[in-house]
């Protein structure tokens, strides 16, 4: 009897040149790939994930993986306290370096082969998708010039600049804004709202144990122990680093987490801001790094969890299906209001986690409507101004961009849906704190049907 044909690989290598970020992608263990529709995705070359929801699912996956000879581990590595079910099985793949279009890259071929094989065995296998902070486009690797399409899956317009070919951060120095004083209503309406920022981490001082470096954040941000600070420039840790490779220029996402924490502080000054670093200073994380960060943070604070969670990061997936990160969000953040940036690809393509049904996806506005870079569509729930946002940043840091030198003294201005999302998150936390009730009830009040909506961007939060 003839064997049924093998299923086609879910993804394949992107064959055209990526450009000036090819070396960075290789260093950061990122594969640029396309799915069966020719849409771009970014994945890790050394990992497949099998989402699970019970020990029976784990046993079934283990049986198949052992038979096929794959090495694997079960997440969450013993952090399943308080009757938590396992979340995913992580399968190791041998990664393969290749040269494509004259660029050294990782190939997605080994991942695609294992992915198809495990699916043919009835396992819900998925890639370990790469998420990026949304000052650069999440559907493509990154900007290489002006805002036009190249005929490939990669968009070349960008909120950061390439200049001579090297990509640079678009963040600019700014003057200190006026800050709102705390209301100190805890005795009236309960405890301060707990907000978790899952991002590049927080800039701390050099003390041991570390403390928050920025004076405006010292009464708001909680520096937990043990604070993870790695010397590996590709690592996702809790420290927000400025120039990891010591080349005189800011990393692409350097200061991203510190900036977002400052937005929460400015708009909800009574919030208690918790940090977990799930992106590198380059801006990349994945289902595992972000999922583990969610597990770490929730176990750290105990049973009360977080009121609001901010995730200014995103990814695209094959056939636009929900990614494995969905399981961690369901398992650990079911009682929280999760707010995520919609992405900066100027596209209606669903960007995750913002496009998940139980996540508040946030787009960006400018002075005349939708910001040119903002994603949009029926999956976007809310929007807020996202152009020239001012917030906290590094102090005493110099950024060299070609022949220009930029000096930062604690404050900066940046644009992106990354900075619209924490505005909506802060509005939810503030409404909860002032009017009482849970964060879910606060979001319900703020998203009432009578609130003004902008087409394909959801409810308008006109917050400067």
φ/ψ bin of 346: left (φ > 0), alpha (ψ from -120 to 50), beta (otherwise)? left
Residue 401 placed within a domain: yes
Give the pLDDT confidence score for residue 83 in this predicted structure.
58
Same domain, 232 and 293: yes
d(CA 214, CA 202): 9
Residue 59, domain extent: 11-131
Give the pLDDT confidence score for residue 304 in this predicted structure.
78
For residues 280 and 28, is the Cβ–Cβ distance under 8 A?
yes
Give the pLDDT confidence score for residue 302 in this predicted structure.
82
Q: Percentage of residues in the chain with pLDDT exceeding 70? A: 88
Confidence band for 245, pLDDT divided at 50, 70 and 90: confident
Residue 25 placed within a domain: yes
Residue 149 placed within a domain: no
Give the pLDDT confidence score for residue 189 in this predicted structure.
55
Residue where a domain terminates, one of 131, 156, 181: 131
Residue 153 placed within a domain: no
Residue where a domain terminates, one of 131, 158, 186: 131
Our CA angle for 90, 91, 93, nearest 5°, is 135
Residue 296 placed within a domain: yes
Residue where a domain terminates, one of 100, 131, 162: 131
Same domain, 373 and 239: yes
Same domain, 303 and 439: yes
Question: Which long-range CB contacts under 8 A does 221-225 form with residues at least 24 apart?
Answer: 221/261, 221/265, 221/273, 221/274, 221/275, 222/272, 222/273, 222/274, 222/275, 223/275, 224/274, 224/275, 224/300
pTM, 2 dp: 0.92
- 295 pLDDT above the threshold of 50: yes
Sign of the CA dihedral running 403, 409, 414, 418: positive
Residue 201 placed within a domain: yes
Same domain, 186 and 122: no
> Which residues lie below 8 Å from residue 4, measured CB to CB, with a gap of 6+?
none
Same domain, 82 and 177: no
Same domain, 89 and 181: no
Same domain, 176 and 42: no
Give the chain's domain count. 2
Listed range (19-23, 75-79, 359-363, 373-377) with the worst mean pLDDT: 75-79
Same domain, 427 and 289: yes
What is the average per-residue pLDDT within 342-356?
Answer: 96
- 325 pLDDT above the threshold of 70: yes
- 358 pLDDT above the threshold of 50: yes
Give the pLDDT confidence score for residue 138 in this predicted structure.
37
- 453 pLDDT above the threshold of 70: yes
What is the average per-residue pLDDT within 393-417?
Answer: 92
85-107 tens-digit pLDDT: 789 999 999 999 999 999 999 99
Confidence band for 2, pLDDT divided at 50, 70 and 90: low
7: burial class by Cβ within 10 Å (0-12, 13-18, 19+)? exposed
Give the pLDDT confidence score for residue 164 in this predicted structure.
40
Please choose, from the candidates 306, 318, 245, 305, the residue with its C-alpha nearest in 3D space to the C-alpha of residue 281: 245
Same domain, 345 and 212: yes
d(CA 143, CA 360): 26
Please choose, from the candidates 50, 147, 38, the residue with its C-alpha nearest in 3D space to the C-alpha of residue 92: 50
Same domain, 122 and 209: no
Mean of per-residue pLDDT scores for the chain: 88
Residue 138 placed within a domain: no
Give the pLDDT confidence score for residue 6 in this predicted structure.
55
Same domain, 304 and 227: yes
d(CA 124, CA 241): 37
Confidence band for 165, pLDDT divided at 50, 70 and 90: low
Instruction: Report the 3 state secondary structure along the chain.
Output: CCCCCCCCCCEEECCCCCCCCHHHHHHCCCEEEEECCCCEEEEEEEEEEEECCCHHHHHHHHHHHHHHCCCEEEECCCCCCCCCCCCEEEEECCCEEEEECCEEEEECHHHHHHHHHHHHCCCCCEEEEEEEECCCCCCCCCCCCCCCECCCCCECCCCCECCCCCCECCCEECCCCCCCCCCCCHHHHCCCCEEEEEECCECECCCCCCCECCHHHCCCEECCCCCCCCCCCCCCCCECCCCCCCCCCCCCCCCHHHHHHHHHHHHCCCCEEEEEECCCCCCEEEHHHHHHHHHHHHHHHHHHCCCEEEECEEECCHHHCCCCHHHHHHHHCCCCEEEEECCCCCCCCCCECCCCCCEEEEEEEECCEECCCCCCCCCCCEEEECCCEEEEEEEEEEEEECCEEEEEEEEEEECCHHHHHHHHHHHHHHHHHHHCCCHHHHHHHHCCCCCCEECCCEEECCCC
189-238 tens-digit pLDDT: 568 999 999 999 999 986 767 899 999 999 999 999 889 998 888 889 99
Give the pLDDT confidence score for residue 145 in this predicted structure.
32
> Which residues lie below 8 Å from residue 330, measured CB to CB, with a gap of 6+?
358
256-287 tens-digit pLDDT: 999 999 999 999 999 999 999 999 999 999 99
Same domain, 121 and 181: no
Residue 83 placed within a domain: yes
Give the pLDDT confidence score for residue 173 in this predicted structure.
95
Confidence band for 186, pLDDT divided at 50, 70 and 90: low
We report the CATH number of the domain holding residue 386 as 3.40.50.200
d(CA 208, CA 226): 11
What is the average per-residue pLDDT within 172-192?
Answer: 83
4-18 tens-digit pLDDT: 555 567 899 999 998
């Amino acid at each position: 009897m003839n064997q049924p044909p093998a299923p086609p690989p879910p993804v394949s290598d992107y064959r055209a040149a990526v450009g000036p970020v090819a070396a960075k992608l290789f260093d950061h263990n990122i594969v640029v790939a396309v799915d069966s529709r020719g849409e771009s995705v970014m994945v890790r070359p050394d990992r497949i994930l099998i989402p699970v929801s019970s020990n029976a699912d784990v046993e079934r996956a283990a049986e198949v993986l052992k038979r096929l000879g794959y090495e694997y581990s079960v997440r969450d590595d013993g952090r399943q306290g308080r009757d938590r079910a396992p979340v995913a099985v992580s399968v190791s793949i041998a990664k393969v370096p290749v040269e494509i279009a004259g660029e050294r890259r990782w190939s997605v071929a080994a991942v695609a082969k294992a992915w198809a094989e495990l699916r043919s065995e009835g396992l819900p296998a998925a890639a370990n998708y790469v998420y990026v902070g949304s000052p650069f486009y999440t559907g493509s690797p990154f900007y290489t010039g002006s805002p036009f399409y190249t005929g490939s899956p990669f968009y070349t317009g960008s909120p950061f600049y390439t200049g001579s070919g090297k990509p640079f951060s678009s963040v600019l120095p700014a003057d200190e804004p006026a800050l709102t004083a705390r209301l100190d209503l805890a005795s009236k309406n309960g405890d301060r709202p707990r907000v978790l920022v899952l991002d590049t981490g927080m800039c701390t001082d050099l003390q041991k144990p570390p403390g928050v470096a920025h004076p405006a954040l010292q009464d708001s941000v909680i520096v937990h122990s043990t604070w993870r600070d790695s010397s590996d420039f590709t690592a996702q840790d809790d420290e927000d680093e400025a120039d990891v490779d010591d080349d005189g220029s800011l990393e692409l996402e350097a200061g991203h987490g510190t900036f977002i924490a400052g937005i929460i502080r400015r708009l909800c000054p009574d919030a208690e801001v918790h940090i977990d670093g799930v992106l590198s200073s380059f801006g990349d994380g994945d289902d595992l790094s972000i999922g583990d960060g969610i597990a770490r943070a929730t176990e750290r604070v105990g049973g009360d969890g977080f009121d609001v969670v901010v995730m200014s990061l995103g990814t695209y997936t094959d056939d636009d299906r929900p990614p494995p990160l969905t399981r961690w969000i369901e398992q650990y953040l079911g009682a929280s209001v999760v707010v995520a940036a919609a992405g900066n690809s100027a596209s209606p393509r669903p960007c995750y986690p913002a496009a998940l049904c139980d996540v508040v996806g946030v787009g960006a506005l400018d002075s005349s409507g939708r910001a040119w870079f903002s994603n949009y569509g029926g999956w976007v729930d809310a929007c807020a101004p996202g152009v020239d946002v001012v917030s906290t940043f590094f102090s005493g840091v110099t950024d060299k961009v070609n022949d220009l030198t930029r000096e930062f003294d604690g404050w900066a201005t940046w644009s992106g849906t990354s900075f619209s999302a924490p505005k909506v998150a802060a509005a939810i936390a503030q409404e909860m704190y002032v009017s009482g009730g849970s964060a879910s009830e606060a979001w319900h009040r703020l998203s009432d049907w009578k609130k003004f909506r902008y087409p394909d961007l959801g409810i308008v939060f006109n917050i400067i």
